[in-house]
Structure 1
């Protein structure tokens, strides 16, 4: 009848940055050697809930001023993009060390954050109401530099972050 059942095993994506697009391709050969190809895509949500963080714009180079209170906006949504209340989101700030472009040592961003997981510059629990929350951050003048700011949802596993210069 021109129909076939094809089992599909999706591989888990534990480090996916967010929603993904799954593309399926199929090629069917006819007895005479000709073939037909078809392709379609569907959204794939590796997390039940997603978080996001928005920092202030900063100056013309994107820098935030030290010794000043900055308000960062946190959001939490379900897989359909609807705002949801989430408790115990983890807001973290990591101070980054300077790197030169030719430095291939172990202080790249991913390694730095995982290496200092238990010792962030700042950590606090955040709860969203109607999918929104605010966090305030003030970096003293004598601690200027680059920081990685992130929010994590430990229940869903999703996180979002941004490198910021103060």
Structure 2
């Protein structure tokens, strides 16, 4: 079974996660100061920062879209919902409102409030793979396109995006 992780954390939820991480840091720092005195404020900050980063990491890791051969799962730290592949009308790789490249699925009907499910949002590709981030994003694009091809989901790609993907990341346009 093929499993592909994708997804973009909405800004509102990212802010909530950030606030939770800061609250964890402040709470642990406060507990250290209360238990051991003001001389342990830096120890409390260090312990709080470690816990805050752990909370942020757990929240952002859990927030994802998981594409499998059977369904699409929208996961948040508190819920998991599934979307049947038969609800996917098409995919598109286009510019979003922030001039980033967005790979999204258009969905029909259903109970969820999704009309669109954003799988990726990346900065425009202007050079070959230059590091781990670029490599991971190239692999995600390739994996998502492969599963969409197997599911026979039509994908529209803007010509400038298709050209840049082919030139810099050696990803052939969908018509090849």
User: When the two structures are superposed, what TM-score results if normalisation uses the length of structure 2?
Assistant: 0.29
Select the structure with the greater relative contact order (CA < 8 A; seq sep ≥ 6).
1
Scaled by the length of structure 1, what TM-score is found? 0.30
Name the structure with the higher helix share: 2
Structure 1 or 2, whichever has the larger Rg, is 1
Point out the structure with the larger strand share. 1
